[in-house]
Chains A and B, each alone.
Chain A
């Protein structure tokens, strides 16, 4: 090899060529400086890696250089971190331009507010006549362009609502900002005593803080959806006269012959051409046992090929596959959920008309009583400014931002903006079994020698069978022996010839043993049985103990495993539930007034996930299930599940407290404004104090356990 290794390329030009697109991974487990150091040092030594950077806030890792993603994943696994590769095309939204624009507007408003406030202090402390007018004029010169620039998000939203004859929170906000600025300009030009430029600016500033927080929360939800799309494959291997050709799923046609490698998902519906195959249908049906299929039998999109590579002839592609039809079922269910009105919108529906009527009443009252139009208008505008739309605008976003980041640090991605409010109302919890509460597990006998463990791990790592995966997990940090000639025998097991000995891991009869289940046989020694258990996902017991709501399990699995689970966790379990049965059960509960939280991972749960009042899915769930769920659990353990409900309830409680605080300020400030005693100083104090109280109250979310 005379070619320079990409990692050593010194010339800047060569480096640019070699760096290629950066790989991105989601790392739910990083939490401190030590993690950053460990990961960055650990990956720096991997061949081809040029640059490693951990982003602790986003819990993301980016690796640049010509490097194999699988290699990075295995290094991360050895370091003890769960990692999920992210789809670059999906992440390639360039930058968060909207968030950045909001931040810039907020900064401009903040700096302008400080300057104008400084000038206002002089006016409040007694500047008069020409000096006051000069200060007001300078304030106007700063405030007017800033209001025009920074207030745009409110003006645009308010206009969008007004155009269709509706009111939203932005209408009173825009009106208050514009009227305050306009009236102050008029007063300034006519030598008036009161100008509200600082109020117009601080209103804009505080509300932009709320808007930016809201945006951060929502973009966390959006990026969660984007991040996880990468787990799904969007290409297939088509068999052509010239050999295998990798094509996008959309390019496949009926009657195409498609090759499915071992461990991959079947991309389309079809019939099997190969002689035999072993399929994992747990995602589709909830069955925990692998299904043997023979030539000519039907395969459904979404099944996983467990044994040797297989070929199939496509019978339905694209929108016609059963997978797609199921997704269509989900979309109809989701529309129903979208009609949920968020707490902030409900508050705005009450607040906006009330404030406008109050201001109008103040204007009419003063106009009739005194006949002084200018003074009446001043009072009406003071009412609009002083009713604290700031505290109301901050009430929900400040709490939900704190809640979402609290959940994010515990490994939960909140995907939907109203998810927390819906989760707080939940009265029933329904679980799926396979893949959600249980994961296939293998009990490794204590007596197994370390050398045998290493061989078993090497064998297990070579196969995609769920039991092999479970065995790898059960063997934990045992190092695998280096073995190259591992052969997988479809439907039987894996074997390896080492030092003249045949080592086999697989079904009992194939090993020549007298037990039917999984076993390991080394050479001519007695086969060692490995007991297969339907292992509980870690943390399930803790989660069930912590949830104070009625729980039940709906599974597509057979009676046997279902009854076994029922005995272990003492919950009512319904077996043989098809997707429609799950949906029917949820509708029955909903009809009785229950609000159901569905926790599931499979395609058979998708319709239930989408139609439930709220839903949670593990990160390893199918694409369709994850996109139907409100919250995605990035950790393997479910132990923190009760925390999601606690945080959701606390979110509702704190938001309502914030509304109460804002209302309390209004009770004091509004009568003062109505009576015509409001001054710009009083407005500034009321606005700042109420906003800061609301922000501080929201921070109590941090101390929630």
Chain B
């Protein structure tokens, strides 16, 4: 069971990294135009 000492912090850190990444996407306006971003990959002139 001693492996828990490593595994629990690891899972918490991974969760924290995910949360930080999500917060970054919110801060950098990535949810302002979801439909537009989906459509823009079809444009080849950018």
User: Beta-carbon contacts of A384-410 to B below 8 Å, as 1s and 0s?
Assistant: 000000000000000000000000000
A515 contacts the other chain (CB 8 A): no
Given A111-B15, A115-B12, A131-B1, A104 and B23 contact (CB-CB distance below 8 Å) = yes
Total A-B residue contacts, Cβ distance less than 8 Å = 55
A350 contacts the other chain (CB 8 A): no
Contact partner, A36, options B11, B31, B36, Cβ 8 Å: B36
Q: Are B23 and A107 neighbours in the complex by a CB distance under 8 Å?
A: yes
Given A55-B33, A57-B33, A107 and B26 contact (CB-CB distance below 8 Å) = yes
Find the A residue at minimum CB distance from B15. Answer: A115
A108 contacts the other chain (CB 8 A): yes
Given A33-B39, A41-B45, A57 and B34 contact (CB-CB distance below 8 Å) = yes
A342 contacts the other chain (CB 8 A): no
Given A55-B33, A118-B11, A138-B8, A107 and B22 contact (CB-CB distance below 8 Å) = yes
Chain B residues contacting A36 (CB-CB under 8 Å) are 36, 39-40, 43
Given A33-B43, A103-B31, A138-B8, A56 and B36 contact (CB-CB distance below 8 Å) = yes
Q: Are A57 and B36 neighbours in the complex by a CB distance under 8 Å?
A: yes
Q: Are A100 and B26 neighbours in the complex by a CB distance under 8 Å?
A: yes
A134 to B19, CA, bound (A): 24
A104 to B20, CA, bound (A): 10
A333 contacts the other chain (CB 8 A): no
Interface of A is mostly: helix
A55 to B33, CA, bound (A): 6
A57 to B40, CA, bound (A): 12
A420 contacts the other chain (CB 8 A): no
Q: Are B32 and A55 neighbours in the complex by a CB distance under 8 Å?
A: yes
B42 contacts the other chain (CB 8 A): yes
A104 to B43, CA, bound (A): 31
User: Beta-carbon contacts of A132-167 to B below 8 Å, as 1s and 0s?
Assistant: 001000100010000000000000000000000000
A10 contacts the other chain (CB 8 A): no
B12-40 interface (Cβ within 8 A of A): 12, 15-16, 18-19, 22-23, 26, 31-36, 39-40
A11-61 interface (Cβ within 8 A of B): 32-33, 36-37, 41, 54-58
User: Closest CB of chain A to B12's CB: distance in Å?
Assistant: 6
The count of residues in chain B whose C-beta lies closer than 8 Å to any C-beta of chain A is 24
Chain B residues contacting A112 (CB-CB under 8 Å) are 15
A114 contacts the other chain (CB 8 A): yes
A106-123 interface (Cβ within 8 A of B): 107-108, 111-112, 114-115, 118-119
The count of residues in chain A whose C-beta lies closer than 8 Å to any C-beta of chain B is 25
Chain A residues contacting B32 (CB-CB under 8 Å) are 55, 57-58
Q: Are B26 and A104 neighbours in the complex by a CB distance under 8 Å?
A: yes
Q: Are A56 and B39 neighbours in the complex by a CB distance under 8 Å?
A: yes
A56 to B8, CA, bound (A): 43
Chain A residues contacting B43 (CB-CB under 8 Å) are 33, 36-37
User: Closest CB of chain A to B18's CB: distance in Å?
Assistant: 6
Q: Are A57 and B35 neighbours in the complex by a CB distance under 8 Å?
A: yes
Chain A residues contacting B8 (CB-CB under 8 Å) are 119, 138
A211 to B10, CA, bound (A): 32
Find the B residue at minimum CB distance from A95. Answer: B29
Chain A residues contacting B35 (CB-CB under 8 Å) are 56-57
Chain B residues contacting A57 (CB-CB under 8 Å) are 32-36
A571 to B43, CA, bound (A): 48
User: Closest CB of chain B to A43's CB: distance in Å?
Assistant: 14
Chain B residues contacting A55 (CB-CB under 8 Å) are 32-33, 36
A119 to B34, CA, bound (A): 33
User: Closest CB of chain B to A342's CB: distance in Å?
Assistant: 27
Find the B residue at minimum CB distance from A138. Answer: B8
Chain B residues contacting A115 (CB-CB under 8 Å) are 11-12, 15
User: Closest CB of chain B to A496's CB: distance in Å?
Assistant: 40
Chain A residues contacting B4 (CB-CB under 8 Å) are 131, 134
Find the B residue at minimum CB distance from A116. Answer: B15
A162 to B44, CA, bound (A): 57
A103 to B26, CA, bound (A): 8
A112 to B11, CA, bound (A): 11
Given A111-B18, A114-B15, A58 and B45 contact (CB-CB distance below 8 Å) = no
Chain B residues contacting A134 (CB-CB under 8 Å) are 4
A37 to B40, CA, bound (A): 8
Q: Are A54 and B31 neighbours in the complex by a CB distance under 8 Å?
A: no
A49 to B8, CA, bound (A): 54
Interface centre among A33, A54, A58, by most B CB within 10 Å? A33
What are 24 A-B pairs with beta-carbon distances under 8 A?
A: A33-B42, A36-B39, A36-B43, A37-B43, A37-B45, A55-B32, A55-B33, A56-B33, A56-B35, A57-B32, A57-B33, A100-B26, A103-B31, A104-B23, A107-B22, A108-B19, A111-B15, A111-B16, A111-B22, A115-B15, A118-B11, A119-B8, A131-B1, A134-B4
Closest 5 interchain pairs by CB?
A56-B36, A33-B39, A33-B42, A111-B19, A56-B35
Q: A33-B43, A41-B45, A104-B26 are in contact. List 4 more A-B contacts (CB 8 A).
A: A33-B41, A37-B45, A115-B15, A134-B4
Binding site for B on A (CB under 8 A): 32-33, 36-37, 41, 54-58, 100, 103-104, 107-108, 111-112, 114-115, 118-119, 131, 134, 138, 142
Binding site for A on B (CB under 8 A): 1, 4, 8, 11-12, 15-16, 18-19, 22-23, 26, 31-36, 39-43, 45
